[in-house]
Amino acid sequence: MSADDQSWNNAPEEEGEIHHSLFGEILDWMLAPLLLLWPMSIAITYLVAKSIANQPFDHALEDSVTVLAQQVREVNGKLVQRLPGSARDILRADDIDSIYFQILGPQGGYIDGDRDLPRPEPQADDDTLHAGAVRFRSDNLHGTPIRVAYAYVNLEDDAQRPPRLALVQVAETLEKRAKLANEIIKGVILPQFIILPVVLGLVWFALSRGLLPLAELQERIRARPSDDLSPIAPTQVPEEITPLVRSLNEMLARLSQSIDMQKRFIADAAHQMKTPLAGMRMQSELALRQTDQQEIHRSLEQLAKSSEAATRLVNQLLALARAENQPQSGAPFELLDLADVARNAVRDWVPASFSHRIDLGYEGPDSPVDIHGNPVMLRELLSNLIDNALRYTPAGGSVTVRVRADGVAAVLEVEDTGPGIPPAERLHVFERFYRILGSNVEGSGLGLAIVREIAQQHGAEIDVFSNPRATQPKYPGSLFRLTFPPRPAPAAVDDEPPYFG
């Protein structure tokens, strides 16, 4: 792998983590079949070369058998051959291979030639139909492989009589054939040893050029400023990696949105903290300048109220941060009874309802209403809903927490008899630091934002209505309804429990 390939992945390797090279993997998949097919091509070339080498020498053997068969005659009932000595010498003349011939009579009797030349195996078809046709076979003579051409000569001139066949064979060793086959193989294989490295180099170069857009994309991303989260132009990358760039752009958009939300949250939090801190500083400076004990006491009371407001704001900021980071913490949900969580939350807020002179009640079934969730986060959700209802409900009013099962879903409701929320404001009350104008109620505007964040993490749908049980037109009240998804069905038990009778 080249240095450019190694630079494509500069991320630190974790212990036990394996990084695969795209360049190396493509190269392996391209070269492995090539290296596997190369020996197969050599074997096929060798077989083809042998077939090609056999053809001209088989033609020569065929001509020799044809000429020799033409010299076989039957004279006065005796089989003779009229091959002169000079022709016999020409037949056997070969500088490389040994040439053999044989002539046998109709009864298999030896007429002329080499006695040791093996006879052909009996054929399944009728040889009389092929009298004069030259056939070929591979055989051995004295342990040496030979190529044999043979033909049957019909000695009977009268077609009405049964044929009388003489056998003519000519054979030669395979030296010339092997030499020609080797020359053909050398002529085909040797250039491949030159071509193969060239092919490997071209493949390497082609892959390097083909993966060059990835390196260019890496350089463009690396050259960006750290605060540049603008999308990458898909037109500047190859079509094959366009889906990757599109996914990266989506991630950049989510990251940009998250950073903007954090910046806005920090700015809003700083703005909200500035008010109580400024009030505390002013009251403390005023107390230092006062000499009257009553004025000092009044300033300390205001200082305590500002401190309480700042503490509440900080606690709600921390609660919102915990709610937003809950998915990243990986804390698993557990099976819990929503009714039990609601009862405990109402019990915690009973003393506060007494101080506000508000009737805080709970309505729920006797049987459990099971959901999957985080009990701490759900307790925080209920606390913010109840606190919000107590703050906006005038003295003498009522706040009711209700839990019920709606089919397979669980429903949590918190209703109050306060001034209510206009329909146009219901989509905005869950935004951070949003306050309805003219409410004249102290608060940070984070309670319902925390409620929405926790509800989304639990997959619950949250809706806001007017209280259908409100009796005073001036105070239509509010009803917050959270509908939790049905919990997964328990796994079926395959085996029945044992019975002990």
Answer whether residue 92 shows pLDDT above 80: no
Cα gap 429→441, rounded to integer Å: 14
Determine the pLDDT at residue 495: 44
Q: Is the dihedral of CA 262, 264, 268, 273 positive or negative?
A: positive
- Judged by average pLDDT, the poorest of 6-20, 287-301, 316-330, 350-364 is 6-20
- Residue 104 above 80 pLDDT? yes
In sequence order, which residues have a C-beta less than 8 Å from that of residue 11 and are 6 or more positions away?
Answer: 19
Q: What would the two tokens of residue 464 be?
A: 């806001």
| 323-339 average pLDDT score | 71
Residue 140 lies in a domain: yes
| pLDDT at position 48 | 81
CATH of the domain at 245: 1.10.287.130
Please check whether residues 378 and 267 belong to one and the same domain: no
Residue 88 domain-assigned (yes or no): yes
Residue 10 confidence (pLDDT): 45
- Asked whether residue 278 falls in the same domain as residue 217, the answer is no
Do 215 and 7 contact (CB within 8 A), yes or no? yes
Checking if the pLDDT of 128 tops 80, the result is no
Compute CA 132 distance to the chain's CA centroid, rounded to the nearest angstrom. 70
Listed residue (485, 431, 428, 134) closest to 265, CA to CA: 431
Is 295 inside a domain boundary?
yes
Between 11 and 25, where is the model more confident?
25
Tokens representing 196 are 């193969």
- Using an 8 Å Cβ cutoff, are 375 and 344 in contact? no
Task: Answer whether residue 497 is part of any domain.
Answer: no
- Note whether 259 and 363 are same-domain residues: no
Of the residues 175, 197, 223, which one is the last residue of a structural domain? Answer: 223
Residue 256 shares a structural domain with residue 189:
no
What is the rounded distance in angstroms from the CA atom of residue 114 to the CA atom of residue 86?
17
Please report the pLDDT score of residue 411 as a whole number.
93
Region 118-137: mean pLDDT is 72
Greater model confidence, 10 or 217: 217
Predicted local confidence at residue 497, as pLDDT = 47
- In terms of Cα–Cα distance, which of 311, 306, 270, 310 is closest to 286? 306
439 with 336, same domain: the answer is yes
Give the SS3 label for residue 483.
Answer: strand
User: Tokens 């003295």 belong to which residue?
Assistant: 395
List the one residue out of 254, 250, 8 whose CA is nearest residue 242. 250
| Residue 489 within a domain | no
Strands (E), 174-277: none
What type of residue sits at position 432? Answer: R
* pLDDT higher at 482 or 159: 482
pLDDT given at position 82: 60
- C-alpha to C-alpha distance for 193 and 216, rounded to whole angstroms: 35
Q: 111 with 104: CB under 8 angstroms? A: yes
Does 233 lie in the same domain as 191?
no
pLDDT at 272: 62
Q: What is the DSSP letter of 159?
A: T
In sequence order, the 6+-apart residues with CB closer than 8 A to the CB of 164 are 74, 106, 154, 155, 156
Question: Torsion angle of alpha carbons 203, 207, 209, 210, nearest 10°?
Answer: 130
Please tell me the distance from the alpha carbon of residue 458 to that of residue 483, in angstroms, as a whole number: 10
- According to DSSP, the residues that pair with 416 across neighbouring strands are 399, 478
| pLDDT one-digit tens code per residue, 220-276 | 888 888 778 888 887 777 777 788 888 888 888 888 877 877 777 677 667 666 667
pLDDT at 327: 56
The average confidence (pLDDT) of the chain is 78
Are 348 and 321 in a shared domain? no
Q: Is the pLDDT of residue 491 over 70?
A: no
Instruction: Establish if 353 belongs to a structural domain.
Output: yes
- Spatial neighbors of 361 by CB under 8 A, at least 6 apart, are 346, 398, 399, 400, 401
- Are 45 and 166 within one domain? yes
Query: Quick one: pLDDT at residue 11?
Result: 44
Pull the structure tokens for residue 98: 């040994």
Q: Sorting pLDDT into bands at 50, 70 and 90, what band is 494?
A: very low
Strands (E), 344-489: 359-363, 370-373, 398-406, 409-416, 461-465, 478-484
Per-residue pLDDT reduced to its tens digit, 338-371: 999 999 999 999 998 998 899 999 999 888 899 9
Is 0.85 surpassed by the pTM of this model? no
Q: Supply the pLDDT for residue 436.
A: 66
- What mean pLDDT is predicted for residues 103-132? 75
127 within some domain: yes
Residues 325 and 338 in one domain: no
- Where is average pLDDT lowest: 134-143, 399-408, 441-450? 441-450
pLDDT (tens digit per residue) in 292-315: 888 788 778 777 777 776 776 677
Domain termination residue (choose one: 298, 330, 362): 330
What number is the average pLDDT over the span 309-334? Answer: 67
pLDDT at 112: 82
255 and 111, same structural domain? no
Task: Identify the domain boundary among 288, 314, 330.
Answer: 330
- Give pLDDT, residue 90: 59
d(CA 348, CA 345): 5
The confidence score (pLDDT) of residue 39 equals: 80
CA distance 491 to 501: 27
Verify that 112 and 214 share a domain, yes or no: yes
- Locate all alpha helices (DSSP H) within 116-174, ordered by sequence: none
The fraction of the chain above a pLDDT of 70, given in percent, is 78
Instruction: Tally the domains of the chain.
Output: 3
Residues 321 and 340 in one domain: no
User: What's the CATH code of the domain at 462?
Assistant: 3.30.565.10
Structural domain includes residue 491? no
Determine the structural domain holding residue 300 and report its residue range: 229-330
Task: Give the 3-state secondary structure of residue 73.
Answer: strand
More confident residue, 242 or 2: 242
- CA–CA dist 420, 464 (Å, integer): 10
CB-based contact 452:462 (threshold 8 Å): yes
